[in-house]
């Protein structure tokens, strides 16, 4: 039986807005949904003075609901300040789309999460983080929960391939339990570095492979 999607949701799925990759974004974020394993990447251009979002694009490897909510959220966020955009909720997106089937709520949560992560990424890259919490092993682990292990489509923490995390003097070190020449090793390394390198107190991220 087809899911009870609203006409508006289907329209946004068929003709999504703000879709695609952005060259030289001011910030970007990638998030995966633990509920379904789908992925979304979101890019921002921000006016440095006013902190308004001047351009926004997303790429979704999610379902129809995710593409539609990504569309709506990017439309809602465009022209808003980072503070205003941060307040957009999945309920706002669902309301704009004329409702969402309950089984599809997580798809809109994913779209909101990736927008908030991109805002955080902008703040980290531009030294705007207000609460400067010291980076600990727990914070590193929390961030790594967003890095997908493409071999199984689950995050690298859950799949237990991250070992020996250490944070000392602004350097994060870890061992990834995969051979250096594994086809996804470079990919995973890049994502890990991207997730951690903009933390305010981190100077370097060192990822080694193999055991």
> Interface residues with ligand FES (CB under 6 A)?
33, 36, 38, 62-63, 65-66, 104, 107, 110
| Known catalytic membership, residue 63 | no
Least CB distance from residue 7 to ligand FES, whole Å? 19
Please, which residue, 26 or 155, has the CB nearer to ligand FES?
155
Please, which residue, 66 or 71, has the CB nearer to ligand FES?
66
Least CB distance from residue 38 to ligand FES, whole Å? 3
What H or E segment, with its residue span, contains residue 165?
A: strand 162-168
Say if strands 53-60 and 39-46 run parallel, antiparallel, or are unpaired.
Answer: antiparallel
Least CB distance from residue 35 to ligand FES, whole Å? 7
Out of 42, 107, 111, 118, the active site residue is 107
Please, which residue, 94 or 107, has the CB nearer to ligand FES?
107
Out of 19, 36, 139, 202, the active site residue is 36
| Known catalytic membership, residue 36 | yes
Strand, coil or helix: what is 208? strand
Least CB distance from residue 110 to ligand FES, whole Å? 5
Please, which residue, 44 or 100, has the CB nearer to ligand FES?
100
Cβ-based neighbours of 100, under 8 Å, separated by 6 or more: 9, 65, 69, 94, 107, 108
Token digits of residue 95: 């309301």
Please, which residue, 25 or 62, has the CB nearer to ligand FES?
62
Please tell me the distance from the alpha carbon of residue 18 to that of residue 152, in angstroms, as a whole number: 30
What is the number of other CB atoms lying within 10 angstroms of the CB of residue 206? 12
Asked whether the CA dihedral 125, 128, 134, 139 is positive or negative, the reply is negative
Q: What are phi and psi of 54, to 5 degrees?
A: -95, -25
Least CB distance from residue 73 to ligand FES, whole Å? 13
Q: DSSP letter string over 11-55?
A: HHHHS-SSBS--SS-SEEEEEE-TTT--EEEEEEEE-TTT-BEEE
Active site residues: 36, 107
């Amino acid at each position: 039986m087809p899911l009870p999607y609203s006409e508006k949701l289907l329209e946004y799925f068929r003709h999504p807005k703000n879709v695609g990759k952005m060259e030289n974004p001011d910030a970007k974020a990638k998030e995966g949904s633990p509920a379904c394993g789908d992925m979304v990447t979101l890019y921002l251009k921000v006016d440095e003075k006013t902190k308004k979002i001047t351009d926004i694009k997303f790429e979704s490897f999610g379902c129809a609901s995710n593409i539609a909510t990504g569309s709506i959220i990017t439309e809602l966020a465009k022209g808003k300040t980072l503070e205003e955009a941060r307040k957009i909720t999945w309920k706002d997106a669902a309301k704009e789309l004329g409702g969402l089937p309950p089984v599809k709520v997580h798809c809109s949560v994913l779209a909101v999460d990736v927008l908030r992560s991109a805002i955080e990424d902008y703040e980290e890259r531009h030294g705007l983080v207000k609460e400067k919490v010291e980076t600990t092993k727990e914070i590193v682990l929390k961030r790594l929960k967003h890095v997908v292990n493409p071999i199984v489509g689950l995050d690298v923490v859950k799949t237990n391939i991250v070992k020996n995390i250490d944070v000392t003097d602004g350097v994060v070190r870890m061992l990834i339990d995969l051979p250096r020449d594994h086809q996804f090793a470079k990919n995973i390394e890049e994502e890990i570095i991207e997730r951690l390198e903009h933390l305010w107190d981190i100077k370097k991220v060192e990822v080694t492979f193999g055991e």
